[in-house]
Amino acid sequence: MPRIRTTVTLVVAALLFLALAQEVAAPVLTVGEDPDWGQYLADSQGMSLYVYAMDEGGESACTSEKCMENWPPYTVEGDVTVAEGVNANFAGTYERPDGSIQATYNGWPLYYNERDEEQGDIRGQALGDVFHLMSPDGNAIVEMASATESPDEPEAEQEGGEQAEGDEGDAAEADGAGEQGEGEQGAGEGAGEQPAGGQQDEAQEGGAAGGQGEVPQDLMDQGQSIFSSTCAPCHGNQGQGLVGPSLAGNRFLERTDGVITTILGGRPDHGMPAFGGQLDDQQIAAVATFIRNSWGNSFGPVSPEQVAERR
Amino acid sequence: MRATRTITALTAAACLAVGGMALANDELLQLQEDPGQWVMPNGSYAALNYSELDQINTENVDQLQVAWTFQTGVLDSHEGAPLVVGDTMYLVTPKPSVLYAIDLNEPGVVKWALAVDMPELEQALAVACCGGQTRGVSYADGMLYFNSLDGQLFGVDAETGEIVWQKQIADLSIGETTTLAPLIVHDHLITGIAGGEYSVRGWVAAYDLKTGDEVWKMYNTGPNEEMGITDSFAPFYEDDKVEEPGVSTWWRDSWEIGGGSVWGWFSYDPELDWFYYSTGNCSPGNPDYRRDPATAPGYFEYPNKYCASLLARDATTGELMWAYTLTPQDPWDLDEPGPNILVDLEIDGETVPALIKAARNGFFYVFDRQTGELLEEPWMHSPVTWATGFDMETGRPIMDPEREVYTDVITEGLCPLIAATNWENQAYNPDTGLVYFSERNRCGDWRAFAGEYVPGESYRLRETVESYLGPDGNGDWGNRLVGIDPVTGEQAWGIEAMGSDNKPVFTTAGNLVFQGGQLGEFRAIDATTGEVLWQFMAGADFSNSPMTYLGPDGKQYVAVISSSGPGRLGVEVDAEPDEEDRYRRAGSTLYVFTLPDDVAGVTPDQTATPAGAEGAEDDGGAGGEAEDGGGAAGGAAGGEAGDDAGAAGDDAGGAGDDAGGGAAGDDGGSDGY
């Protein structure tokens, strides 16, 4: 290829980037901070960056014209460098189908939100429960930082460097700890200490302490097993959401009816298959109980009878 | 000249006597034909809010005088008009609700009063929007039915005032309240819930008249089986012929708290046996929670059916027959509680069974009520900026991208702001062929914001940033009372309203329109020309539809309740004498007006004659329906005459460009309830 042509292309591309992203040379990931959501990734101008839950396996699912208009990919040229507080090991790039290079963090492609106008704007945060700010430790920020302010959980944001799948549990744990705190004040059942950075398994006990009724352990165990094989491929091992929506901290799980009918009949319009034919009442009750009482959720158990009623 | 009628209550008594033999709505179908009585909200199933009585007319209305008054004793906004059945008037007050039966033989004398127990009132007040109201009582077969704000439904013996049954139908803990007047069809009543500010999932339900048992309950969003969508569902437009419209047009599970409450008026077509209503705002107010953020706004990918929509259901089974989304995705809090008026219109030489709607979203719609087809391209009856017009192939409004709403972004120049019309009764007069309603021409800037859903807590997630009259804040954009020909779309007349609120409107065969205003004025207006013929200062605000009936003495009476809500008091005692609100004080008074005996053409002893009873039957035969095509023709003629007078009215009515129209009043007091 003649050299001159390459140069021209680069110039055009640079101009394009200038117009779109204001980020031509030496892209730098920085850290912004929001009183509600805590620390999040931003570009060198301080403009907030988001990740998209649909970007399974690091592939951008935001390829339609409309999506790229609403969520301009953070396209870059050259290596991505990082400011203090950002983990350089997480910074990377992804080649979009159109050949442009999009910055990634912990494997997740990064986007702007079209509606953000200046540094500190986070108008895209949690939209649709699929676009989220990215924390410097590599997690999508799905829970408000205020949920971590429980005295029981002083070090909620200390983890980092794990795979994305494993990390959403942090926020969920923090949430569980908060609820557990309430439980201790109220019911005082002493459902167990929530250690800093503890296991997500503890959350189920937090749920019981939260006053939602006893959650039978055998149901939880059975549910976890079904979840791992049947649900985790789409919803993530930690319920953090992959191609399917996040279940950790998903308030719709509070609605027993909705949970059961969704599992039974699926969401054909959103790609979730129906499991009514494949799982029996007991199995659905188990998995419903598990997702409603894990990762900080504490919405109480679901019984096989409740499932049977809705078949 | 108009014949003076001498209808008496005998007809009604006869109907009451046989009422038990037939279906409740057979009785009502008969009763609504008798202009001497006023047996249901809006006077008829067609929701015309029109009376055939013409003893009081343009010739003599200036001699109208107070016959008697009644103090309801509840200092709040009275939004339900009285009923008259036989020789008794019934009215229900807002909370704490009192149901009164007033003996028309001894005007103002209470037959009985029922103050219902509302143990959860405090909780209801906590979740009821905008004051919390009760829009009236319904009658059938010797019984009265009404909802109290706290979600109770009562069946009361009309003769004795004893509660026959009562039940709790709304869940206050998730923000459901009950504000509307039930519709009676067959042997059940139909009612629904308010709560769009709390992200309720709207529904309508039918209850057995005798027992209060639930007959069916249908949601306005969600899976087909819960919405009553069966093979009978036959919407006109492709947008509605989709799989599970109540689910697939929503982002994920957002339909579960998607609003679409039911807090306004019902209408009913006995031939089709379908009833019509339109639903409240989509919830939460911020559309970012109800659509795919990747493709936002995606108005037609995520139109959020069926909030802010018009629905036709089978009155027997509750099944959805057709539906149409008035404001796709409703990012602007455009509830549609207003009446859906059923009239047969002459369009292009054909008589069509129409449904007409001066919608809160600013458009005027004419539907074929059998199919849901738009018979005419909807036009703007008030300034509209969220859409620029209509695609008549698809039935879609053409959305204006300037008015899109996103979290934390201010949308400027939005018209209408919250409401061009609202719940207030509109009126159709078959004699003039005009529909009358008050329109509010307010525009503003709008912002949606993020929030967390907590059951039973306010979940609006939107606010008015600024509010102004007209699209650019300039010009003559005060509120107006208008008379519009629904066929041509022409405004026959429009007069400035004294104040900033929409007000209920009522019309009669006396070629009159009656309306109370915000400053305490009650006016009689020439229905053809818009000329104000008579005015009475009542001393309090009005949020009540006038109604009319024939007393036992054969005289026509016009009744209306003047009242102001707790937030709408009068001016300070030392206000300047030209202060706009100087007439107005807090108070709740039923005023009953009539003509002097000699003007009315009756003498007090001319009561209850057999001749009068015959007269009633004859008149009843003519019907209170708008089906005769002559009405439209009359309307065209009236429209020409009205243009000049309407202009005169503009000048004359200059008082109060925007009385009391502060931000609080607009964003709070006038909003969805």
> How far, in Å, CA of B340 to CA of B615, rounded?
31
| DSSP string for residues in A219-241 | HHHHHHHHIIIIIHHHH-TTS--
Q: Which residue has the higher pLDDT, A166 or B584?
A: B584
> How far, in Å, CA of B248 to CA of B245, rounded?
5
Burial class (CB in 10 A: 0-12, 13-18, 19+), B510: buried
CB contact under 8 A, A127 and B407: yes
Residue B316 has pLDDT above 80, yes or no: yes
Other residues' Cβ atoms within 10 Å of the Cβ of residue B61: 23
Residues in Cβ contact with B572 at an 8 Å cutoff, skipping those fewer than 6 apart: none
Token output for B88:
């008794």
Residue A154 has pLDDT above 60, yes or no: no
Which ipTM value was assigned to this complex? 0.83
- Nearest-CB residue to A245 (from B244, B252, B295): B252
Query: A276 falls in which pLDDT band (50, 70, 90)?
Result: confident
- Nearest-CB residue to B294 (from A70, A125, A245): A70
Residue B110 has pLDDT above 50, yes or no: yes
- Report CA torsion sign: A242, A246, A248, A254: negative
Residue A69 contacts B where some CB pair is shorter than 8 Å: no
Q: Are residues B439 and B480 in contact, defined by beta-carbon separation less than 8 angstroms?
A: yes
Residue B576 contacts A where some CB pair is shorter than 8 Å: no
B160, B166, B171, B176: CA torsion to nearest 10: -30
Q: Which residue has the higher pLDDT, A252 or B156?
A: B156
Angle formed by the axes of helices A256-265 and A281-292, nearest 10°: 130
Residues in Cβ contact with B274 at an 8 Å cutoff, skipping those fewer than 6 apart: B268, B312, B313, B314, B315, B321, B369
Residue B37 has pLDDT above 70, yes or no: yes
Q: Which stretches does DSSP call E strand in chain A?
A: 28-34, 38-42, 50-52, 81-82, 91-95, 101-105, 108-109, 131-133
Phi (first) and psi of residue A120, to 5 degrees: 95, -20
> How far, in Å, CA of B334 to CA of B328, rounded?
10
Which amino acid does the sequence have at B428? Y
Strand duo A50-52 + A81-82: pairing:
unpaired
**Per-residue pLDDT at B7:** 36
**Per-residue pLDDT at A260:** 87
**Per-residue pLDDT at A167:** 33
Tokens 């709505």 correspond to B25
**Per-residue pLDDT at B221:** 98
Average confidence (pLDDT) over A180-205: 32
- Nearest-CB residue to B247 (from A124, A251, A269): A269
Token output for B318:
């509750």
The nearest CA of chain B is from the CA of A3 a distance in Å of 38
CB contact under 8 A, B252 and A121: no
Q: Closest chain B residue to A269 measured between Cα atoms? A: B248
Burial class (CB in 10 A: 0-12, 13-18, 19+), B301: middle
What residues in B contact A66, CB-CB < 8 Å? Answer: 294-296, 298
Cis peptide before B416 (omega within 30 of 0): yes
Which amino acid does the sequence have at B40? M
Phi (first) and psi of residue A219, to 5 degrees: -65, -45
Q: A54-58, A71-75, B82-86: which range is least confident on average?
A: A54-58
Q: Which residue has the higher pLDDT, B399 or A218?
A: B399
Other residues' Cβ atoms within 10 Å of the Cβ of residue B600: 22
CB contact under 8 A, A127 and B256: no
What residues in B contact A261, CB-CB < 8 Å? Answer: 223
**Per-residue pLDDT at A2:** 38
> How far, in Å, CA of B565 to CA of B95, rounded?
11
CB contact under 8 A, A123 and B223: no
Q: A257-261, B450-454, B639-643: which range is least confident on average?
A: B639-643
Residue A106 has pLDDT above 80, yes or no: yes
Phi (first) and psi of residue B313, to 5 degrees: -125, 150
The SS3 call for residue A261 is helix
- Nearest-CB residue to A252 (from B253, B288, B296): B253
The closest of A299, A84, A48, A259 to A175, measured between CA atoms, is A299
The closest of B232, B640, B665, B282 to B461, measured between CA atoms, is B282
SS3 of B579-596: the string is CCCCCCCCCEEEEEEECC
- Nearest-CB residue to A269 (from B248, B256, B288): B248
> How far, in Å, CA of B136 to CA of B504, rounded?
13
Residue A6 has pLDDT above 50, yes or no: no
Q: A280-294, B343-357, B436-450: which range is least confident on average?
A: A280-294
Residues in Cβ contact with B151 at an 8 Å cutoff, skipping those fewer than 6 apart: B120, B124, B168, B169, B170, B171, B172, B176, B177, B178, B193
Average confidence (pLDDT) over A208-220: 65
**Per-residue pLDDT at B519:** 82
> How far, in Å, CA of A38 to CA of A105, rounded?
17
The nearest CA of chain B is from the CA of A64 a distance in Å of 8
Taking only the tens place, the pLDDT of each residue in A115-126 is: 999 999 999 999
Taking only the tens place, the pLDDT of each residue in B237-266 is: 999 999 999 999 999 999 999 999 999 999
Query: A219 falls in which pLDDT band (50, 70, 90)?
Result: confident
Query: A146 falls in which pLDDT band (50, 70, 90)?
Result: low
Burial class (CB in 10 A: 0-12, 13-18, 19+), B231: exposed
Q: Which residue has the higher pLDDT, A263 or B353?
A: B353
Average confidence (pLDDT) over A71-76: 96
Alpha-carbon distances, residue A67 vs A246, A310, B312 (angstroms): 20, 37, 36
Residues in Cβ contact with B271 at an 8 Å cutoff, skipping those fewer than 6 apart: none
The SS3 call for residue B618 is helix
Query: A26 falls in which pLDDT band (50, 70, 90)?
Result: low
Strand duo A28-34 + A81-82: pairing:
parallel
Taking only the tens place, the pLDDT of each residue in B467-483 is: 998 988 777 788 899 99
**Per-residue pLDDT at A233:** 73
Residue A147 has pLDDT above 90, yes or no: no
Other residues' Cβ atoms within 10 Å of the Cβ of residue A254: 16
Residue B178 has pLDDT above 80, yes or no: yes
Cα angle A86-A91-A96, degrees, rounded to a multiple of 5: 140
Token output for B589:
């008074």
Average confidence (pLDDT) over B302-321: 98
The H or E element spanning position B58 is: none
Residue B447 contacts A where some CB pair is shorter than 8 Å: no
> How far, in Å, CA of B27 to CA of B30, rounded?
5
**Per-residue pLDDT at A213:** 66
Residue B298 contacts A where some CB pair is shorter than 8 Å: yes
Q: Closest chain A residue to B244 measured between Cα atoms? A: A269
**Per-residue pLDDT at A264:** 86
The closest of B277, B286, B332, B285 to B306, measured between CA atoms, is B277
The SS3 call for residue B228 is coil
Give me Rg for the CA atoms of chain A.
21
Phi (first) and psi of residue B62, to 5 degrees: -70, -10
Taking only the tens place, the pLDDT of each residue in B217-245 is: 999 999 999 999 999 999 999 999 999 99
**Per-residue pLDDT at B196:** 95
Alpha-carbon distances, residue A98 vs A64, A65, A75, A95, B161 (angstroms): 11, 12, 11, 8, 76
Write out residues 251-270 of B within 8 Å (CB-CB) of A: 251-253, 256
Residue B641 has pLDDT above 50, yes or no: no
CB contact under 8 A, B294 and A245: no
Q: Are residues B591 and B516 in contact, defined by beta-carbon separation less than 8 angstroms?
A: no
Residue B281 has pLDDT above 60, yes or no: yes
Query: A279 falls in which pLDDT band (50, 70, 90)?
Result: confident
Cα angle B487-B489-B492, degrees, rounded to a multiple of 5: 105
CA B131 to chain centre: 17
Q: Are residues B619 and B52 in contact, defined by beta-carbon separation less than 8 angstroms?
A: yes
> How far, in Å, CA of B91 to CA of B423, rounded?
19
Residue B214 contacts A where some CB pair is shorter than 8 Å: no
Residue B294 contacts A where some CB pair is shorter than 8 Å: yes
Q: A23-37, A168-182, A249-263: which range is least confident on average?
A: A168-182
**Per-residue pLDDT at B585:** 76
- Chain B contact probe: residue of A48, A63, A70 with most B CBs at under 10 A: A70
Q: Tell me the pLDDT of chain A averaged across its residues.
A: 73
The nearest CA of chain B is from the CA of A68 a distance in Å of 8
Residue B355 has pLDDT above 90, yes or no: yes
Write out residues 349-408 of B within 8 Å (CB-CB) of A: 406-408
What residues in A contact B453, CB-CB < 8 Å? Answer: 251
Annotate A50-87 with b (16+ C-beta within 10 A) or e (fewer).
bbbbbbbeeebbbeeeebbebbbbbbbbeebebeeebe
Bridge partner residues of A40 (DSSP): A32
Percentage of residues of chain B with pLDDT beyond 70: 83
Q: B14-18, B309-313, B596-600: which range is least confident on average?
A: B14-18
Taking only the tens place, the pLDDT of each residue in B608-630 is: 443 333 333 334 333 333 333 33
SS3 of A65-94: the string is HHHHHHCCECECCCCCEECCCCCHHHEEEE
Write out residues 182-241 of A within 8 Å (CB-CB) of B: none
What residues in A contact B251, CB-CB < 8 Å? Answer: 128
Strand arrangement of the beta sheet that strand B341-347 belongs to = B341-347, B350-358, B363-368, B379-380
Q: A76-85, B149-158, B283-292: which range is least confident on average?
A: A76-85
The nearest CA of chain A is from the CA of B403 a distance in Å of 14
The closest of A169, A71, A210 to A128, measured between CA atoms, is A71
